Amino acid sequence: MKILITGAAGFLGRGLILPFEEHKHTLRLMDVVPFAAPPHEVVVGDVGNYEDVKKAMTGMDALVIAHMAPRGEANANYQTPHMAFQVNVTGTAFLFHAALKCGIRRVVVISSLGVISENPSTPDAKYRRNWPIRGKGYYSLSKAIQEEIAEHFAHSEGMQVACLRVGYILDGEKNLDKYGHPVLERNFADTDRRDIGEVARLCLEREDSTFEIFHVMSTQESMDLADVRYTCERLHWKPRYDFSWLPVANDVENK
């Protein structure tokens, strides 16, 4: 399968591609900054520019939307809607529109638990797939709109779309976060970036759904606290990096 992956130069993107490589898919990697990723084809372009998106999409079979507006210093890019909506919302709409025009039917959107984070939780349920959209701030709002766009194209155009709501993205092999800081404790929402890629791969390869939401985290605690057991059973998936070698954080809401 020929797959376009956006946001491929970022921390998530560089880990997300590994399961696709293991299963011999052909990748075209897109980001707004120049980067090298041999042996894959690299496209430097802006998802907020439709001509860039259309060029990147041509000749592909599937799409993984993994880009996001950079947070900037002190989260500055999410203090107003401008950057968040231009990249996360407009970029996603352009990608779906171009995918439709190019005959691409299979799409995975990397979303966030933030879209339901303002729902009241209990000791037994931190996040549930069927909770209503209820986030906080422009980041969560832009991710929620991404999901709405995805569902629209799935139902109105018959596209096969999966939204992956991920937790706190880490590298479980090196025990590092995206800033290069060591991870010393286990939080229930910890999510290895390769595990996200593996779930994305399984979603693109399946044949039995039009639109579905999956919660993706790597820890054993997330199985029940965040409905990850459903993801495992539905996709016949098991996290590779469950962070079981780390002590449990005292305050699991810290992250």
Predicted confidence at residue 42, as pLDDT, reads: 97
pLDDT in tens, 183-230: 999 999 999 999 999 999 999 999 887 899 999 999 999 999 999 999
Question: Using CA atoms, how far apart are residues 42 and 4, in angstroms rounded to an integer?
Answer: 10
What is residue 223's predicted lDDT score, i.e. its pLDDT?
97
What are the angstrom distances between the C-alpha of 25 and each of 2, 149, 204? Answer: 6, 26, 11
Q: What is the SS3 assignment for 21-67?
A: HHCCCEEEEEECCCCCCCCCEEEECCCCCHHHHHHHHCCCCEEEECC
What's the token pair of residue 60?
Answer: 């592909």
Average pLDDT, the chain: 95
Question: For residue 45, which amino acid is it?
Answer: G
Calculate mean pLDDT across residues 83-93: 96
Indicate the pairing of strand 26-31 with strand 106-112. unpaired
Buried-state track 162-178, b at ≥16 Cβ within 10 A, e below 16: bbbbbbbbbbbeeeebe
- CA nearest neighbour of 241 among 178, 180, 203, 199: 199
Share of the chain above pLDDT 90, in %: 93
Task: Give residue 252's pLDDT.
Answer: 45
Across residues 126-144, what is the average pLDDT? Answer: 96
Residue 209 to residue 238: CA distance in whole angstroms:
20
Pairing state of beta strands 168-171 and 176-177?
antiparallel
Mean pLDDT, residues 165-191 = 96
Query: What does the pLDDT read at residue 250?
Result: 74
- Taken in order of first residue, the domains within the chain and their CATH numbers are 2-235 (3.40.50.720)
Torsion angle in degrees (nearest 10) through CA of 136, 177, 254, 64: 30
pLDDT digits (tens, 9 = 90+) for 33-57: 999 999 999 999 999 999 999 999 9
CA angle 213, 140, 133 (to 5 degrees): 50
Cα-Cα-Cα-Cα dihedral of 148, 149, 152, 157, to 10°?
Answer: -160
Q: According to the model, what pLDDT value does residue 75 have?
A: 87
What average pLDDT does the segment 51-76 reach?
94
pLDDT at position 208:
81
Lowest mean pLDDT among 41-45, 54-58, 71-75, 156-160: 71-75
Q: Which ranges of 58-188 would DSSP assign to H, the alpha helix?
A: 81-84, 91-101, 137-157
- Does pLDDT of 254 surpass 60? no
> Residue 176 pLDDT > 80, yes or no?
yes
**This prediction's pTM:** 0.95
Which two structure tokens, joined as six digits, stand for 137?
């701030």
Residue 176, strand partner residues = 171, 182
